[in-house]
Structure 1
Amino acid sequence: MKKVIFTALMSLFLCTTIDAQILRTDELEDYAKEKYGEKWVDAAENLGQQLQLDKNNGITYVQIIPAEGKTKDELYVLLNYWFTATFNDANSVIKLNDKELGTIIAQGYVADIAQHAGGTNSYNVNIRPVIKCDIKDGRVRVTYTIPFYSVNVAVGGGWIGALGGTIPTRSDENWTLDTCFPFVKKDSHKKTSSKALVMAHAYSNVVMDKIEECIKNGLTGNEDDNW
């Protein structure tokens, strides 16, 4: 009975809930491997030489996307359509939507980007990126921020606990990036932190590409006046 409960609990922890409008977790992992290689520690170390933590010890990416010929109102309608279709569940939500200000802010959710089964506990890493669009005539500024890693810990869920028949309990933690590899060299979860960074960085590329595609071609490709 204990084994059944343990298996059910771990299945809950490992459930993948990334929004299908952007990319499933397995697809994101394939994309990250293709782009950065399958050696997570090496890839994270290389990225660490390019990235700097912001003042809040997160990672922030900024990209200005030109949209020649499109007004602020036109761009707002396109992006509001994309954000509404993409961030529409309990985990991925729109935090601010202000047409007059020309700002849309959403919090995404990508589950299970990295896992680690230690001796005592097991860990499941998720990210909750904040995506902000500032809209003006002819251009959009996209700001993508990873403030921390959101970690589900199965206390007693490591291999020692499994052998002893321990029923794990759940504890949620936030790992700030300044405590994780490659931003610190000594990290007891080095491999897990490495994969988390590479996956989070890969997701930023996907989000930026999706927003740029929406700005240039619309969400469905048929948002024009020819109807």
Structure 2
Amino acid sequence: MKVSSMPLAGDLDKLVNAVLSKAKEEAESIIAKAKDEAEKYIKSVVEESRRKAEKEASELIRKRRSEALSKRRSEVARARTDVTRELLGFKEKLIEGVVEEVKREVQAIVRTKEYEERLVDMIKEAVRVLGGGVVEVKLNKRDRGLGLDLTAIASELSQELGRPVELRLASEPGNFTGGLIAKSLEAGIEVDYTVEGILERKWKRLRSEVAKILFSES
């Protein structure tokens, strides 16, 4: 019995060893394949993660660059606006300075003999515009003291216009630098021949001319 069992035991050992060897080979093959697939998967995940990270980084960089460019454009636009505003303010001050100088010159002119003659001409012009009749003339306090002969002026205008003209000095003086305000008491129409009124009417053209002279190089 012992002799006959020896070959059987050996065969079993061989069979077991063969099975184990085959199983080991299969296991190693499976493990190797699994490792290979795992490495490939890991590589694909890493690559995908890298691409995703690069994409996100690129988008972030693009976004930051876009934000930076937008901010820069805004800053440049704001700076240009500020400079333009300051330049316009500077020009406006220069123009206002010229206008104030004109006013000072006018104030000096209204104290001359030539102004008295011009004031008479302005009264005549105002009456012509109103068409004659009874006209109230308002002068400032200083000009009321010039002693203008309104009766003589009215007589001259009556002959010129071919209709009666009566000039009446307003009861209250006007609050203006020079010139006059004339009002037809018949028609209720008033014309402004004050220095301020004349300057205001000519102001738009005057501003344009002053700006052209001051900033002709800009």
TM norm structure 1: 0.26
Structure number with the higher helix fraction is 2
TM norm structure 2: 0.27
Structure number with the higher strand fraction is 1
